[in-house]
A and B are shown apart, each in its own frame.
Chain A
């Protein structure tokens, strides 16, 4: 079945460091791919998405490129801030005609001044 695998956290970085959070997926067909962010005590917010191969999603300085050949959708940011500290979830649409999302386990990011 469809699945999403994320790198385990926590990821700890200093402010202004470069961020990469790896995400790979297994899916039939052509799913859409998403990154969600969860700040402490809050629900998930859509960060960015890509709906077809080679698409690049971007938002708030974060980017991810839909790589069908490597079945990956890695999240990157060139210079992280303390305010980026959160849990990040990679997800894919479940396909089958319905909008089911399948989530990875999440990666906690902690950014220190």
Chain B
């Protein structure tokens, strides 16, 4: 089945630094990938939709200059948290859908636990 690889699985960074998270579709092409954030004891919230070769679409309340998304190829999307602050500490998950699939199912990465100290 479709596999999405997400790295790193966890990262600790100092306040003010930037962190890059990668999301790769391993055995399919994904023109669209999605980035979610999950705070403790809350459900996943969509942050942005990443479109290959064009600008990402951000959800209301998500700062596009802080959360930089690059989708340079059909198999890779990256999320960079710039000038990270402790309140950015969260669980970030990406997902993608195999455009060749007929079931419209989404596959998720294993997530990245970001801790900003």
- To the question of whether A and B form a pair in one complex, the answer is no
B residues in contact (CB < 8 Å) with A: none
